[in-house]
Structure 1
Amino acid sequence: MATQRMIPSMVVDMLMQTNIKEVKLFSASDNVMEAFGGTGIGLVITMPNSSIDIMMVLEVFAEFWINNNIGKFNNSVNFRYVYIGTQPLSRRFFNQSFANCTEVLERTQKALSKNFGHVKATISHYTDVLIPVQKPSEAEFKDELKPVMARQCQFLKKNDAPIGVDIFPLLAVNDLFNYDTEFAFFENNSTSVFQDGNKTYSNVFEVMYDQYDAALEKLGCPNMTIVVGEIGWPTDGIPEGNVVNAKRFHQGLAKCIASNKGTPRRPGPIDAYIHNLADENANNKLAGTFMRHWGIYKFDGQPKFNIDFEGDGRDNTMVSAIGITHMPKRWCIYNNLTTNASGSYPSHDLNALFSNACRIGDCTATEPGGSCSNLSYPQRISYGFNMGFQGLSQKVLNSTCDYDGYGKIVSEDPSTESCVFPVEILAAEIPNFTGTVQKSPAYALRPLSRSIIPIVQFLFIFFNLMCTW
């Protein structure tokens, strides 16, 4: 979910230049899927959580959704999977659990089997479906979820479809390993390394993957094909969430995936979707402000850091989006007007104006631990004013920088060494098949492997990719 939206054709061009072979969409949008037509890129689409309960009203709704999101493009787009929801049983990221996801999974597969038998329905869960333990051998699903998970894994196994697990290593070490950030990386430098029987665990990714595998086995689903539905590292909004650590994590992950080493319980290739392509400045903050800062790209298609997707350890330059146009280089800032002779700031008025501006734009970078948390009070107010101004596309005629007389437009960049004051990008808008404007479509990808690596099964998540709507 984002207010900045790159044009889909530009994004697809960027992905093709990066030799991406598979993409996952988290919001099915006509103009986005049209951009993938004829590219040969494998496409995975996601049924949003908001649609899950709707699908339970009438069974025919699932067939209607499939026909509108796959049937219209099946001749030109290489569809692979349909994911039911995004972490539908998690209570970490949403204020409700979508308990009907199992029935919708079954209905969707039934609808797919009628006309699109090559496409499979599947589902992915965050690791909070497991009881909180450290050793994989002790892992189980939470008691109230065991019947649901057993039904899902048996159904997927019967239909020869994978099951997904979403792993966020920084959150996992904070929850289970006493904030030992080093255990989230792959260099084996942590003091949290431990033995579980005859197996040694040197990072939290191996732990969480094998916990999920062990829990599935205890439900009667051993050796299930497990896809890592989401994995990534936030670059803001949480301690240790920064660009340096994100680059280190993704480089280690790429090397791990390319090695085909697997985990202590499950040696061999692993499919993993990186979460995500670009930041989502309108995403919900229920779990924390870091939820808006998972992107490996900035909102304007510029990479935050370089990643060697082939896992060779080289500092390869990431491909940037071509053709992105920014709005004029102008910013809205606080004009430093005061209301009394002492020169004190009108904090009550300014704080209210700041809050209102941040309802339009994303100001999470100014919160504790964020990249803009060290701003002075006037700079912080300016940051909020600018985010609101950019969020409303710099509409000067509508006084979007007035802020009751406290705002002014400037042409000199107010950014600091650690805090960027962004400028909005230009983007077009087109309606989807329902006639409503589309917001925040999303993607996932698989890069082309070199011949020396048989198949680097490495997928990239472009969660709410900020495309045109």
Structure 2
Amino acid sequence: MKSIYAMLFVFIACLSITNPGRVEAAIGVNYGLLGDNLPTPADGVKLLTSRNITKVRLFSPNQNILNALKDSGISAIVGTLNEDLQTLASDVATAKRWVQTNILPFSSSVNITCISAGNEVIPGDLATYVPAAMQNLDAALTAAKLSIPVSTAISMGVLSQSDPPSNGLFSPESSPVLTQVAKFLQSKRSPLLVNIYPYFPRNSFPANVPLDFALFQDTAKPNPDGALLYTNLFDAMVDAVHAALEKAGGPDVEIVAAETGWPTAEGGPDASVANAAIYNNNLIRHVSSGAGTPRRPRKDVDAYIFALFNENLKSAGVEQHWGLFYPNMTEVYHVDF
């Protein structure tokens, strides 16, 4: 039987901060807006506050959401639109205008913890713009006297090897760009944002990826990597990226799990409310424990659950069933924040 790591490698091959002041890992949510029946931003922020959710990730600098977040105590990762990467990479003046329009008006009342230059564009046609966009945004933030890290968000599809995690390696298509990204993040002591979904390798290879290993359950059989033992797939995926970063010139770059979660319907037999509740509650306990990962013990990994709401304008099928809440703000299932 092939190992779990081998199955993970096959799967990802097929897929098209450091913050010195941080004292413990934290859980947030992705606040997506691809729905025509979502609550108002003000009501959405009230929901976040009522459930003790203190961190959100925004895929764009949506000013309605940012206005609603003012003085709420909720921090935010703010992304650029993918289609803006080319212009942001063109010169610092463009990046300065972006910061002045989208960040500066909110910086005194919203704790913006990171700017993400695009989401999952590496590898691809837009990938070559990412390093320059990151550098220009960093220069623009510095000019505005704002101390906000700049990063980018990647999928696990950037890896060509992950079996075992210590063999993690960026693919030939991704490596030229991610080597630049890794060295930039290393120099700035900023994190890499990684979208980590144990559901996908489990769904693709159920015979080889045990469900309990994907769901952080105590019954999971540990998987060895030299002297290290992995008791869950999330840690194995995180550490595969750590290993790739080390080889690309970013040995000290930390990882933020910018997206992770489990679907509740239309994604095969494992996409269920029960499994989603198990995954996300176990994720919170694991991340909050301070254990880190086998490769980086006691190094916090912040994680952002995908997503706050079910979004009906996403592609039909499983994509519409990742929310913690229905658009009417009732729970799909309970998560203890």
Q: Could you state the TM-score of these two structures normalised by the residue count of structure 1?
A: 0.61
The residue that corresponds to 2:302 in the other structure is: 271
Aligned positions of 1:64-83 closer than 5 A: 64-83=97-116
Counterpart-to-counterpart distance in 2, 1:303 and 1:241: 17
Q: Is the 8 A contact 1:132 1:176 kept in 2?
A: no
Counterpart-to-counterpart distance in 2, 1:105 and 1:27: 15
The residue that corresponds to 1:313 in the other structure is: none
Q: Is the 8 A contact 1:283 1:292 kept in 2?
A: yes
1:88 is paired with a residue whose SS is coil
The residue that corresponds to 2:28 in the other structure is: none
Partner of residue 322 from structure 2, selected from 279, 291, 294: 294
More helix by share: 2
Cα deviation 1:95-153 (Å, max 9, x = unaligned): x6543122211111111110043112111211110114431121111022222111101
Cα deviation 1:201-239 (Å, max 9, x = unaligned): 121111101101111111222132211111100112211
Partner of residue 256 from structure 1, selected from 271, 276, 286: 286
Cα deviation 1:323-347 (Å, max 9, x = unaligned): xxxxxxxxxxxxxxxxxxxxxxxxx
Counterpart-to-counterpart distance in 2, 1:103 and 1:139: 25
Counterpart-to-counterpart distance in 1, 2:128 and 2:205: 26
Q: Is the 8 A contact 2:165 2:240 kept in 1?
A: yes
Counterpart-to-counterpart distance in 2, 1:39 and 1:214: 37
Q: CA, structure 1 residues 149+294, in 2 after alignment: closer, same or farther (shift >3 Å)?
A: same
1:100 is paired with a residue whose SS is helix
Q: Is the 8 A contact 1:2 1:280 kept in 2?
A: yes
The residue that corresponds to 1:280 in the other structure is: 311
Aligned positions of 1:307-346 closer than 5 A: 307-309=335-337
1:149 is paired with a residue whose SS is helix
Q: Structure 1 residue 264: deviation in Å?
A: 0.8
Q: Is the 8 A contact 2:92 2:140 kept in 1?
A: no
The residue that corresponds to 2:42 in the other structure is: 9
Counterpart-to-counterpart distance in 2, 1:144 and 1:233: 28
Confirm whether residue 112 of structure 1 aligns to residue 141 of structure 2.
yes
1:233 is paired with a residue whose SS is coil
1:253 is paired with a residue whose SS is helix
1:230 is paired with a residue whose SS is strand
Q: Is the 8 A contact 1:174 1:180 kept in 2?
A: no
1:212 is paired with a residue whose SS is helix
The residue that corresponds to 1:230 in the other structure is: 259
Q: Is the 8 A contact 1:188 1:203 kept in 2?
A: no
Q: CA, structure 1 residues 281+32, in 2 after alignment: closer, same or farther (shift >3 Å)?
A: same
2:331 is paired with a residue whose SS is coil
User: Mean Cα displacement is larger for which, 119-128 or 173-182?
Assistant: 173-182
The residue that corresponds to 2:166 in the other structure is: 137
Q: CA, structure 1 residues 224+104, in 2 after alignment: closer, same or farther (shift >3 Å)?
A: same
1:102 is paired with a residue whose SS is helix
Task: Number of aligned residue pairs: give it.
Answer: 301
Q: Structure 1 residue 41: deviation in Å?
A: 2.4
Q: Structure 1 residue 246: deviation in Å?
A: 0.2
Output the amino acid matched with 1:181.
Answer: L
Output the amino acid matched with 1:124.
Answer: A
The residue that corresponds to 1:123 in the other structure is: 152
Q: Structure 1 residue 157: deviation in Å?
A: 1.6
Q: Structure 1 residue 58: deviation in Å?
A: 4.8
Q: Is the 8 A contact 1:53 1:98 kept in 2?
A: no
Output the amino acid matched with 2:318.
Answer: F
Counterpart-to-counterpart distance in 2, 1:197 and 1:90: 30
The residue that corresponds to 2:242 in the other structure is: 213
Partner of residue 52 from structure 1, selected from 85, 93, 102: 85
Aligned positions of 1:348-367 closer than 5 A: none
Q: Is the 8 A contact 2:189 2:253 kept in 1?
A: no
Q: Could you state the TM-score of these two structures normalised by the residue count of structure 2?
A: 0.83
Q: Structure 1 residue 32: deviation in Å?
A: 1.5
Aligned positions of 1:414-453 closer than 5 A: none
Counterpart-to-counterpart distance in 2, 1:216 and 1:228: 15
The residue that corresponds to 2:96 in the other structure is: 63
The residue that corresponds to 1:173 in the other structure is: 202
Q: Structure 1 residue 59: deviation in Å?
A: 4.1
Aligned positions of 1:155-170 closer than 5 A: 155-170=184-199
Q: CA, structure 1 residues 188+98, in 2 after alignment: closer, same or farther (shift >3 Å)?
A: same
Counterpart-to-counterpart distance in 2, 1:264 and 1:77: 34
Partner of residue 88 from structure 1, selected from 118, 121, 127: 121
- The CA RMSD over aligned residues, in Å, is 2.0
Cα deviation 1:31-68 (Å, max 9, x = unaligned): 22111112232222110212213334554222211111
Counterpart-to-counterpart distance in 2, 1:20 and 1:135: 34
Partner of residue 181 from structure 2, selected from 134, 149, 152: 152
Aligned positions of 1:369-448 closer than 5 A: none
* Structure of greater Rg: 1
Cα deviation 1:266-322 (Å, max 9, x = unaligned): 11222111111012221246xxx322221111122111111122xxxxxxxxxxxxx
Counterpart-to-counterpart distance in 2, 1:7 and 1:159: 36
Confirm whether residue 306 of structure 1 aligns to residue 337 of structure 2.
no
Counterpart-to-counterpart distance in 2, 1:168 and 1:36: 27
